[in-house]
Every structure is written in structure tokens, then in C-alpha cells.
A and B are shown apart, each in its own frame.
Chain A
């Protein structure tokens, strides 16, 4: 089923009655997402796009067996709403909301630790398993089904790179927006591990950017645990030091978080790094041809090209 999300996943929309919640619910439904319920406290009994709205997540879980939740909840309410969702037994939570207070994000992470829940975001464009379902705001027409996993720290750049891949008939298994804040709920190595264990993914593309140490940490996982090839692009090589480049997490501090340090670390563990986004297509294609040659004639050849 690719990772985390399939057409069967029973999705809840928290904050469904707001403007973004309504619009995105419509588009998620059109894409094929199995939305079973919405939640907005105090608005239980209403309907949005034919979807029943409940007051609490527990009701949505009990009545409609919701198992995953996508958030269009205002930033100040995110912490309480996430804790509610975890309590109610939701297993996958995608936070699209921007500007969630950093201390709240740290508290959420501490609370979720050790529990059986996967969180993405904050400031995530969402997650899409092309041809099946999407949770979030990604425009469906940029993606096609296939066998390439994509992990991205940004939204629109992930759309563009997925569309570049799609144009070259290189479809995606799942595209995950991990979120653009300095503190995100799921780090890059954990997402790499999911793709590594996913039988529907042959290769992983990382769309990174300056700031933080996600990509550097990913290299440790790649070196020791990753058997599938990884291709990367790091945005922001021309970014100046000390400026937040639109994302809270995209800031170079001294020699920390530079594009150079990330590119060097990735190349050291054998990851091919594209100089520019479009180059990813060539690198992926070459790599897949190589894999096909290696596995040609064996049972492992799954006809990836």
C-alpha cells in the first residue's frame, strides 16, 4: 500500500468547518480519499460536502471508525486537538497548520513519544499516495502512481519535483511533506525507514533545504540501514547566512545547516545529489536503469521502468 496512506485509510478532517477545511475536504474527496468524518467542537450534527461533523474525535472514532486525521485547526488550538486525537486512538496525524508555537510542538512530541501514532508537520503540505488518497493540500494533478518515494521539507517544491518525475513517467509510491518548522514530529530517518520497508517503493528522493540537521542525520540511517538507492536535492545553496528563508526551519546559523554541509554528508554515504531540481529526473532514471541491469533475469525484477 505504499506508506502510511491508502485508499482504504479512514480519514477524519479536524477543523472541517473552516474555509481551508471545507475547500480541502472537497478536493481530497474528489481525489478519492476515504473521508469518513469531520470534527469541529460545537458544530456536531452539521455536514460538509456530505461528511458528518462531530464535536469530538472520540465520537468520530466510535461512530465512523476514523483512524487517520488531517488538521486544518488554528495554531493556538493544535496542541489540545492533537492530544485529543491521540487519546481517541488516531494512528496517523497530519498537521497542515502553520505557525504552531514551537513549545507546543515540543510538548506534542513528548506526549506522542512511546505511543502508537505517527505525526507529520507542523506546516506540512500533507501526504499523498498517488491514484489512491491524499491528506493535505497537495494538488493531485502533479502526481502519478509509481514506485518512487519522496520525502520533502517543503510543499510547492515537492509538487514541482513530483511533476518533473511524472512527466518522465517516473511515478511516486507516496510523497510525504515532513513539515517546514524547526521542530517537526517525524524526522527524516524514520520516513526513510518506512520507505525502506515498503515493498512498493524502489527508490527514495529527498527534497531537502538549508537549516537544521535532518539531512545530516538521514545520512547515518542511509549508511547503516538503507538498501534502496536515495537521490537528493538541497534547496537554498544561494541563501545568505542568518536569515529565515520563509520556513521557520530554513536558516543557516554560522556554518550550521549550509547546503554544502548537507551535500557533502549525503555524497559521503553514496547519495547522488542533484545540482538543480530537474536533474533529479536524470539521476533517478540512470539509477533505475542500473538497478534493472543488476536484477535483470532475476525474480526481483519487478518491471520498474
Chain B
């Protein structure tokens, strides 16, 4: 789960990383008052969870209180990259002398934390690594031993930092690793850390992603994953306990298991476009599939539904009942093809067939997609 910039900045501040003076607000009036307290000029930043907000006009400088009001109004008035802005950060604008990149992430393949430091900040770390590899140092860290200050200092040395710069950047990197561990993050990134003309070191952006599986350990963050899912259908999927990914096509997909759902998408994509990815998880019940049908059918322009299930812990006829009762109650007439295998599958097929669903009893998903194609193309 991504944190908003202001939440990340607050975490950094709490843990001892200096950040520019800032406040978060929802109205132009309040923004003006706060800007006066912080002191002009200020930088106004849309608080949204997608990248590239700067280029989309979501980050602007205000030199007068009047401008503060105008900019806040403008930023909050229209969506940025498709998402409405509910909050803006008003932050002290600092004079930048130098920028650095500091990051701690999970190296999935080695299964270790990875610390990255670059003497060039403000742009993408991938770009710096490509053009100026000598400016980038990285380390796989032993999670049991931890990441020491002296190791951070060695990294700072490797990228060419000296004296106070070396000390300050290394100290910040060392704290950043602690934030990574303490809050179970997958990504903790300062891009950039700046040295100001007054010689202070400030984190002027904060990218923090907490591991969803660890949220239960961090009630202090007081954030709900659900509120962060911006797409309404994807949010609804989360509420009913399935993974739904909104796509742009016309065939609704309901599958058990992420691999099977992706393979279904791939096969369907040969002839049609998937409207969604949906993974039910292993505990399929009538109630769950009733809700899943409701979710998938909310998508506009659907031409067909493809159901591909393997019974997990429960016998599959129960799930079939949920599908059928939804169809009956809502008088659904859209073509549906179902391949459902598992405990009590014969009974399941009967239940589905009686409701007019095309049932495929073969194992291969390809055969079921052929049936769907026949149904849809026969209609033309």
C-alpha cells in the first residue's frame, strides 16, 4: 500500500530525517493561512498516489498568497492523471544546491533488503544508473545483521561524497533503512534528498509503500488499504475479498487462481479483449460468487462472461448456486461460458446448464474459449 507523500514525510520526520516545513490542506483559504505561517515562496503539491504528477501540473510554486489560493484551487479543481485531488501539500520552498537519491527496497530474487544511493537525485534512478553508473552504489543487506552506519558511509564514499556531505547523507540513509524495517515497507525512497543553500539536508519527497501483508502490525499508521484503491470496481473487489483489475475490453473473466486468470486473459485476448482480471481465491462459496457476478456485471459494454474455476477447499456446486441465483434475480441474458472442475462437478454442471450457461467439461481453457467464440460469433 502506497502512502501519500505527506504521510511518508511525517514518518521520516518522526524517525529523525529532516523535511521542509509543510502542511496538508483541503481548501484554498486554509492553504493561504498556512502559507503565511510557513513563509513564501511555497511549493504546492497534489497528494495523489500515481507517479508523474509534476509533469501533469500537480506540483507548482506560489510566490504570493494570492497565487497560493489560485494554484490550490486549480490543482483541486480537475483530476490529475485521471484521479481527483482531495488534498494538497503546502511546503516551504527551499533553495537547492545539490540533490541525492536514497532508496531501500526488497530484492525479491535474493530475498534481501537492497539499499541504493545515488549522487544524482531528482530524476529516475534507473536513468542515473544507466548514464552515470559511477554515481550509484547499491548493497544487498543481510536482514539478520542489519545495515550499519559505517556501511552507509562506505556507500557515500563510493559515489564520491566527502566530509560533511558524506556524513549527512550516510546518516540519512542509515535512518531510512530503519524506517524500511520498522514499517515493513517494500519501497522507502527519498528522491531527492537536497542540500540547501543554507547547508541543511532535507527530504523533499517521500515514496513509501507498506507491505499489505504486514499492515496488521501497524495500527499506528491508521490507514485503510481500501481507501487507497482508486478504481471503484477494484475497490469493490477488495471489499468482497477478490482481486479485480479493471481492463478495457468486453469479456468479463472470473477465475480461481491468479495464474489461471492470467492464462484465461491471454487466451481470450487472441480473439476478444478482457474487460477485467478477477481472481476468486480458494474458498469459493455461493455468497462469494453472487457478489463476484454483481461486480463483473457492473462493467459497461460487456459482451460475454468467461468462468474458469477449480474447486479449492469447498465443493464447487455451492459456488454454482451463487452464480445461478444472481442470473435469475437480475434476469441476466448475456452469454456465459463456464468451465468448473472440482468436488461434485457433475452436480455443478447440471445446476449451471439448467440456467442456460454453456458448460465446458474439458480441462483445457482453450476449449472453453472456443465455445465462447462460437457463442459470440454465432450471434453476429
Contact = CB atoms under 8 A, between A and B. Distances in A.
Q: Do A and B originate from a single complex?
A: yes
Nearest to A159: B310
Interface stretch (B93-101, B286-294, B317-325, B361-369): B361-369
A271 B112 CA distance: 29
A95 interface: no
Main secondary structure of the interface of B (DSSP, over half): mixed
A160 B260 contact: yes
Contact of B265 (A137, A239, A249, A277): A239
A250 B257 CA distance: 12
A184 B310 CA distance: 24
A32 interface: no
Interface residues of B, number: 50
Contact of B313 (A23, A75, A160): A23
B347 interface: no
Contacts of A157: 257, 259-260, 262-263
A101 B269 contact: no
Interface stretch (B5-13, B62-70, B129-137, B210-218): B210-218
B342 interface: yes
Nearest to A182: B108
Contacts of B214: 101-103
A246 B258 contact: yes
B262 A245 contact: yes
A5 interface: no
A236 B113 contact: no
Interface in A105-154: 105-107, 109-111, 137, 139, 142, 152-154
B258 A101 contact: no
B108 A212 contact: yes
A238 interface: yes
A102 B186 contact: yes
Nearest to B261: A246
B364 A164 contact: yes
B111 interface: yes
B109 A155 contact: no
B149 to A, nearest CB: 21
A20 B259 contact: no
B282 interface: yes
A235 B366 contact: no
A249 B106 CA distance: 12
Contacts of B106: 102, 106, 182-183
A199 interface: no
Interface of B: 106, 108-109, 111-113, 126, 142-144, 181, 184, 186, 211-214, 216-217, 243, 245, 247, 255-263, 265-270, 274, 277, 279, 282, 310-313, 342, 363-366
Given A238-B274, A250-B262, 13 more contacts: A102-B186, A102-B211, A102-B213, A103-B181, A110-B144, A156-B256, A156-B310, A160-B364, A164-B363, A182-B106, A245-B243, A246-B257, A277-B364
